[in-house]
Amino acid sequence: MRGLLFLLAFLSGAAAAPAAPVEFHDTIAQRTLACTACHGREGRAGPDGYYPRIAGKPAGYLYNQLLHFREGRRHYGLMAGLLDTLSDNYLWEIAQHFASLDVPYPPPQPAAVAPELLQRGRTIAHQGEPERRIPACAACHGKALTGTLPNVPGLLGLPRDYLNAQLGAWRTGQRRAVSPDCMAEIARRLSPEDLSAVTAFLSSEAVPADPHPVAANAPAPAATRRRGRKAPPPVAPEPPPLRCGFAPPPVTGAAR
């Protein structure tokens, strides 16, 4: 009995002992834990298909999306509340942090659609439909669809639900960008069948071995020089099919 009383007293004392204080590191990684609570560890994506991956996206793209939420061009109350009091410089610091993260992608999820619909999506993504003034996704998002620096995101490694929601939001005006809003214009040209096809293809396509966004203005490599001949100059990149509006990053250093 005496031993039992001693054990109870010991356990009561242990329970009453103060918890170890949480150690705070004033780093951008710790200050953005509010972001990763929804967007997943290191910004890899949330588990429900609606909180997209933000890790490794171009910094200019992430910065513009933060501005859109803060200024009402995109609508989600939680995001707007988090960003309402943050300065442009702090948003740019957050964008640069997540853009710098290089973490692996999960395997794609196969789309349960007919092969014909999947092929239609592939055609739109890589070739577009010029007769209907629908440019190829690859014309702006890069030939490998991994995005182009500094402002255009990759399209692979995203859930189909998220892609459907965003294209639908552009079609209905629920998602907007700085003028000229090229994605809103393209989304309105897509029929519901086009939209379904392209999201089925993009969500089921594997991310390439090099998943990083490419430089938007990088020229194509020149042809190999033959002996005794001058090497031809690099091929100039093709201009984008539409003008797209982007807010430039702030000039000054980070301020909170």
Question: What confidence tier does 131 reach under pLDDT thresholds 50, 70, 90?
Answer: very high
Mean pLDDT of 241-252: 91
Mean pLDDT of 27-45: 93
Neighbours of 256 (CB within 10 A): 9
Asked if residue 170 has pLDDT above 70, the reply is yes
Average pLDDT, the chain: 87
| Strands 214-215 vs 147-149: parallel, antiparallel or unpaired | parallel
Q: Which domains does the chain have, with CATH numbers?
A: 30-215 (1.10.760.10)
pLDDT at 169: 96
Asked if residue 23 has pLDDT above 90, the reply is no
pLDDT at 24: 73
Asked if residue 71 has pLDDT above 60, the reply is yes
pLDDT at 9: 47
Question: What confidence tier does 237 reach under pLDDT thresholds 50, 70, 90?
Answer: low
**Amino acid identity for residue 131 in this structure:** E
pLDDT at 11: 44
Asked if residue 127 has pLDDT above 70, the reply is yes
Mean pLDDT of 42-50: 89
Asked if residue 88 has pLDDT above 60, the reply is yes
Mean pLDDT of 181-195: 96
Residue 19 burial class via C-beta count within 10 angstroms: exposed 0-12, middle 13-18, buried 19 and up: exposed
Short-list 92, 68, 66, 69, CA closest to 250: 92
Asked if residue 153 has pLDDT above 80, the reply is yes
Mean pLDDT of 52-78: 96
Mean pLDDT of 50-79: 96
pLDDT at 48: 85
Kindly state the percentage of the chain with pLDDT values over 90.
73
Helix axes 59-71, 88-99, angle to 10 degrees: 140
